[in-house]
Chains A and B, each alone.
Chain A
Amino acid sequence: MLSSIVVEKVSKRYGDHRALAAVELTLTAGSVCALLGPNGAGKSTLLGILSTLVRATAGTVGYLEGDRRRKLDDRLRADIGLLAHSSLCYGELTAVENLEFFATLYGVADGAARARTLLDEVGLDGRARDRAVRTYSRGMVQRLALARALLARPSLLLLDEPFTGLDRGGALALGARLGQAKADGAIVVCVTHDLEAIAGVTDHVAILVGGKLACDERDPAGYSYAALRERYHAHAG
């Protein structure tokens, strides 16, 4: 179980294009960080670096478990759940098959049962889950992607625009699910434009502008929609 993530002067460049410049950020267990910012601010890049798949061009990310720094090995990846822009699922397979396949890769015992539980939880319809994923609507894909991210009970949950394609009810339910992950002591990072959906769950606001961290503040009491909007406009205009 990861207890905190320390991002130390992390920079990322793609050739001459700079995505992140010396970002410093600490993420703690049992908290939901709303990572905000305009398009192209480097939010997805930061998530990629946190997921260990993108290598920072400078700086380090420390994955701490108590006082111990975890090694960047295969086992660390088991503790990370990612919901990305793309589904990370196979279009030709059904939702159940996708989850069962990833359950095998993650070494999750009784993958079939775990897949059913998760699909119930994210509200993916009983008939739909045995159809090929390429026939799904955006919202259904998003639910499946969430189930995939939660599959191995990650203690670091990274979400890139998870509210896309969900209706208001679905978005609220997802917000509640994030609240639950927070209560379970997970580290949650959520990149989003949907301030209304994330309000009430988040207790940590980080705003990226042009690859630099413009705002990094916490409030254990949480943030209202108005408070989030006020901060977003103050920093990202």
Chain B
Amino acid sequence: MKRDQSRLRKSLALLVMSSVLLLSACSGGNGNTEGSKESAPPQSAQPSDSGQTPEEEPYKISIMMQSFDTNLPGADSPVIKQLEEYTNTDLDIQFVPNSSYPDKVNITLASGQLPTIMVVDKSPSFISAARAGAFWEVGPYLKDYPNLSMANDIVLNNSSIDGKNYGVYRGRVLGRMGLTLNQVWMDNLGLQPPKTIDEFYNILKAFKEKDPDQDGKDDTYGIVVTKYAGPWDIMQVWFGAPNGWGDDGSGNLVPTHMTPEYREALKFFRKLYEEGLVNEDFAVMDSAVWNDPFVNGEAGAFVDVADNARRLNASMQEKEPRDESYTSVYQAPVGPKGHRDMPTTGYAGMLAISKSAVKTEEELKKVLAFIDKLGDVEMQLLLGYGVEGTHYDMVDGYIVPKENLEPAVLQQYNGLNQMLPFIGPVAPTLEQTPINNMIAEVQAANEKIVVANPAQPLVSEVYAQKGQQLDNIIADARIQYIVGQIDDAGLDAAIKLWRETGGDDYIEEINKLYKESQQ
């Protein structure tokens, strides 16, 4: 079989070559054979015989990860050189543009030639590959490493598959959400930060009706929302609706849209829409321009990641510089069921180690040692901010990026932060401006009020098949309810449709998996 394949391969290559030759004979040669003449470069770093290799020899590691930038460091980047020196490795970094990353993961899995480390999500094809033994189960090893042993249990649980960890998660702030308000408007109207949902409502109402920008015109409203439904998801948790799934009191999980708290939240949203406290066109609004109404002084509230307060402030400062911050950011207001907010999953993908590139446990330990070292403060700084003195300076223990750096210099470390697991000691941060401090406070305080999704680690077959379809039914009904196209009966009908389309099977499966995982 194998031999047949390689013979086939050879003859195919011959055929293609000959057709190219034939073609050039016919048309007088148009000289495009450059591509086929080049020999294929090595696909992935095959670790050299580790048994004989002396300790000092740099260990070869290939990494595949997303890029969120187009100016990427070349192999000659001094930052990569420093990284290689520090970790005693020989790195081959493959950047893949974020928008096509899932495709690239799938074809890489299909090709069977995986890089040493691959950043992956818990996608069905990764889950299936992990179950089939394509990746090392790293969970049991983590305790042996100084940084990796500090991994957060909640996040480890969230990122697990069938209770096992097939990768080192890339940590993110768990309690990242926040309520951003226009501080100028707050001051103009003499308002205090909202403690409860009623106060939150009153602020939105005042933003709409009390002329917060003091221009004498009725041209403002409360909160801006777009086609992207994130803000609704966040705010319904404030009202006590579970995050995704919740315990119904008898130990069974129910989806959030089947709880009374969900309905309460929707009634509130509907009131916001009826009274014009949210933008009229939110259901169709292009999320690329989400920030614009806030920056232009049309809307005064923004519910999303807390750190967006910095972005909004920066845009407004660019318009008209002001000594103080234009924005302020607060924790979620307290709702009828107490102080609650939506968390993130606490991680963004995992660094999975493939068995096709890493054959032995001994090698696995080398790779884990590399990932462990990425948690060191030195590496967090190097990959996140570049080289001290070149890209940033340390002032009073804070990082101050050099101003007006040439993009070509910035390029030396661009995108490398994508390999950081952020498991380890806390590294120095950017210089603390008032708004940055506020964001940090909110996110730290959020840790205590975030509501975990108990179904997060569960892998549902039904959801893999019909998940998006099911989600759409509920998401659409929610929007239609808010804008008043359907009433409570319509919402009930949508939930019934959801259950019939596969929702009931989904509930049953989740509960079964949940009970199994509890044991």
A binds B: no
B interface, CB within 8 angstroms of A: none
